[in-house]
Amino acid sequence: MANIREIIEYFDAVLPKTLSEPWDNDGVMILPDGDLQVESVLIALDATSAAIEKAKSISAQLIITHHPLIFKALPALDVNDPNGKRVISCIKNNIAVLSYHTRLDEAEGGVCDCLAKKAGLVNIQKMAPCGRIGELYNETGFDSFAEQVKIALNIDTLYGVKCADSVKKVAVVSGSGKDFIRDAKNAGADTFLTGEVSHSGLIEAKEIGLNLICATHHATENTVLPALKELLLKRFPELEVTVMPFTAEDEYGI
């Protein structure tokens, strides 16, 4: 069996804290037992109530997520609070939670790389200050690329801005990309693929002539979960690892 501290040290080595944004909180979220022996692990986008129930059903001692369970300091641990009840549930069931957020966004092979590959990009490079940029093997139409994204990410709908019919050079930022619209344009992209942007972001993309495709926050980040499983098993092949992607039907009820 793997010791929880060995797992923490491993992830701190392959996903160093130096990659985290200063405003972020990632790493150890909950550690009810410093000597916890881990046999079963659940990998999920978030430690939602549904994910915690799944972890309990498979007798997992550890949940590893992308989004932090604790992002800001909790003023109290209250079972009636949506965050507090999940923290309390994990502690009561002796389940540790580790979250790797912006460091997993930035890391090689992380969220943005996984999204770029899912989108069919080649010649993928880093796009400062965040994200990736690459090219389609063959130039295609906007509508065809949008359909390709829907199939690749297993979603039915998306939204965005169509400024030109031709798509060749694509920038990607997983999750929320509203702050990187100008960066995508300045990097030479004709199209920007992300999870979500605000109303003003849609207007900005239109005004600067940048194709924009928003394919939902969760779908653009679910892409990293299999890679996270592979990363864990590379060091701890004896673990039982289950992946639970975030689905709108299960989590939102729609």
Listed in sequence order, the residues at least 6 apart from 86 whose beta carbon sits closer than 8 Å to its beta carbon are: 47, 48, 49, 52, 69
pLDDT of residue 130: 86
pLDDT tens string 127-164 = 977 899 999 999 999 999 999 999 999 999 999 999 99
In the chain, which residues fall in CATH 3.40.1390.30?
Answer: 2-103+224-245, 111-220
pLDDT tens string 93-132 = 999 999 999 999 999 999 999 999 999 999 999 997 789 9
User: How does residue 249 score in pLDDT terms, banded at 50, 70 and 90?
Assistant: confident
pLDDT of residue 128: 79
User: What CATH architecture is 111-220?
Assistant: 3-Layer(aba) Sandwich (3.40)
pLDDT tens string 42-78 = 999 999 999 999 999 999 999 999 999 999 989 999 9
pLDDT of residue 26: 93
Count CA atoms closer than 13 A to 141's CA, side-chain side.
Answer: 3
pLDDT of residue 250: 86
Residue written as token pair 């965050």: 83
Q: Is 2-103+224-245 assigned to CATH 3.40.50.300?
A: no
Listed in sequence order, the residues at least 6 apart from 33 whose beta carbon sits closer than 8 Å to its beta carbon are: 4, 94, 96
User: How does residue 197 score in pLDDT terms, banded at 50, 70 and 90?
Assistant: very high
Q: Name the 3-class secondary structure at 50.
A: helix
pLDDT of residue 1: 82
- Is pTM, for the whole model, over 0.85? yes
Average pLDDT, the chain: 96
Residues present in the chain in total: 254
